[in-house]
Amino acid sequence: MNFPFNVYLLAVVSACATALATLPLWRKWCVRTGVVDDPGHRKIHAESVPLAGGLTVMTALLLPTLAAWVLLWLNGFGGGLGHVLTIARLPSGASVPAPPDATPAFLLGYGLSRRAIQLGVILLGAGGMLGVGWLDDKYELRPAPKFAGQLLVALMVAASGVRITLFVPSILFSYAVTILWLLTVVNAFNFMDNMNGLCAGLGAIGAWYFAMAAAALGQYLVALLAFLTFGALLGFLPYNFPGARAFLGDAGSHLVGYLLGALAILPHFYTAQHPRRWAVLIPLFVLAVPLVDLVWVVILRWRLGHPFYVGDTNHLSHRLVRLGLSRSQAVLIIWLAAAAIGGLSCLF
């Protein structure tokens, strides 16, 4: 199903503009409330930096989404309200196909009528993951309650029906692999938040590839969510790279990891129209860099007898710096590697 590219462009621009406009406000709020990253152990900055990135990205997701929803509501879903009500009266699992000449507003209303609960849970989970990270930023949570919060959000997403199956007809397997995937990606991005721009840049690259894949498959709601994520991170990056006037913090890295983990699940890479089983490997290519870094660091810490959740300077970014690169150069090289490996997903 074709969907106008200018609507995708509007999603990117609106999220980016919202992030650029609201980040200064969130910086001031973080300074006033003491949500800042102070200089100290393993820190390279010389003064306190506001942890405003997560709040900014979340705002840049929610405000354009809310504005779009209000416009759709005021316009009766672009003339498609009757069609949507017809769908609501059908038996579970049945649907009415959208007409081929449907307007973008109609398509959005039609899509929301079918996936509103799932998308609502995704956004609710984003708020939950942001909250877990914010509490860690503010109070330095112990690993157990932090993990419990992550687990609760992942379980909620799986319960909403957003699950990985991998062609295995077992709901228990589906729940387990979905929760494991979300927890892995969240912590992979949390680990990668160790240099200016690194986590946000990798998130933007991943969101772009997921957006393009979903758009190519005609899954426009997923594509819009991915483009909003891309735009939000794009608007945050000027404040975070190369110099940092704001950090993502745990709130931001949790949110970015969660969004990328969810965006990897939401698209139906294998469909009757695209019956390629290897397409389910697309997320592994798109997120290869943070996932490999996570596995490498966890194995190394285990071999050294250190707790896997205690930070160190053995990440890929740190190793590139020890080879003689500047921090900005290391980040750019990792971005390039992520873009190149993610590009291989086009083969599927």
pLDDT tens series, the chain, 348 aa: 567 789 999 999 999 999 999 999 999 999 999 999 887 555 555 578 999 999 999 999 999 999 988 888 887 654 444 444 343 333 333 344 455 556 777 777 767 767 778 888 999 999 999 999 999 999 989 999 999 999 999 999 999 988 998 888 899 999 999 999 999 999 999 999 999 999 999 999 999 999 999 998 888 899 999 999 999 999 999 999 998 999 999 999 999 999 999 999 987 655 555 556 666 788 999 999 999 999 999 999 999 888 888 888 899 999 999 999 999 999 999 999 999 999 988 776
- The pLDDT value recorded for residue 108 is 78
Residue 217 has a pLDDT of 84
- pLDDT at 271 (0 to 100): 53
Closest listed residue to residue 202, CA positions, set 216, 219, 214, 185: 185
Phi, psi of 36 (to 5 degrees): -135, 160
Cα 160 to Cα 154, 167, 257, distances in angstroms:
10, 19, 19
Closest CA relative to residue 66, chosen from 111, 14, 8: 14
Residues 6+ positions from 297 with CB-CB distance below 8 Å: 191, 308, 312, 314, 315
Q: Please, are residues 240 and 51 in contact by the beta-carbon 8 Å criterion?
A: no
Query: Which pLDDT value is given to residue 107?
Result: 75
